[in-house]
Structure 1
Amino acid sequence: MQQRVHFLTFSTPDLDAARAFYREGLGWHPLVDVAGEVIFFQVAPGTVLGLFDAEKFAQDAGMPSPAPVAGVTLSHNVDSAEEVSVAIDRLASLGAELLKPAQVGAFGGIFHGLVRDPNGIVWEVAHNPGWSIGDDGGVTFG
């Protein structure tokens, strides 16, 4: 199997809250939006973020109950510590729960903050001068 991921799909207990947060709050444009079922957003070349109604997610996966989002962080990297602060404040103003205000991290020379979106997904906004993302999407460490 090739080393790549095309879809990241999370169950969400409130698809309408997801729609409001990502579409109206963040200004993201869905690739597909099926009312009462799923919303897909193109988040990178070849990569889609899906938010799937929890009951329908469980049904599709053959699970007895919806699976909560846990132990996962989605990270959005920016070019400066100031941009981290601005983004974290904006996300909190849109209804995300502030988990960690923008600050110097304990590991790896990073400056970051964390929020939990209305559906339980933890988002990290980070700046790390020790690595970069190229125009082709490749990540370079060091």
Structure 2
Amino acid sequence: MRQDVHFVTLSTPDLDAARRFYVDGLGWEALLDVPDEILFFQVAPGLVLGLFDAEKFAQDVRADAAMPASGVTLAHNVGSEAEVVEIAQRFVALGGREVVAPEPGAFGGIFHAIVTDPNDVLWEIAHNPGWHVADDGTVSFG
């Protein structure tokens, strides 16, 4: 098997809140939006984030009940500490919540904040001076 991930799909209790947050609030463009079912965003070359209605997610994975996303963070790297603060504040203003206020991280020499979307999906907004993506898409940490 190749070392590829093409979809990250999260169970989402309130798909309408997710749509308002990501599309209306953050200005993201949906790749595919199936009302009352799933919302897809292309988030990187060849990578799609899916927000799947929790009940339909449970049916798809044959679970007895809706399963919240847990033990997962989505990370967004930015160019400065000021951008970390700005984006974290925007998440909160759009109905998310602050989990960890912007601060120097305990690991890796970063400055970060941990925030959620309205469905409690955890996001790490980080400035990592060593983070680099080459023209061919290869990631290095400096």
Moved over 6 A (4+): none
**Identical aligned residues as a percent:** 60
Matched with 1:32 is: 32
Q: CA deviation at 1:134?
A: 2.4
CA spacing shift, 1:138–1:34, aligned 2, 3 Å? same
Matched with 1:94 is: 94
Does residue 127 of the first structure (1) align with residue 127 of the second (2)? yes
Letter in 1 for 2:59: Q
How far apart, in 1, do the equivalents of 2:29 and 2:72 lie?
23
Residue pairs, 1:1-142, within 5 angstroms: 1-142=1-142
TM-score norm. by structure 1 comes to: 0.96
TM-score norm. by structure 2 comes to: 0.96
Unmatched segments (≥5 aa) in structure 2: none
How far apart, in 2, do the equivalents of 1:82 and 1:135 lie?
26
Unmatched segments (≥5 aa) in structure 1: none
What is the root-mean-square deviation in Å for CA atoms of aligned residues?
0.9
Q: CA deviation at 1:68?
A: 1.0
How far apart, in 1, do the equivalents of 2:94 and 2:7 lie?
25
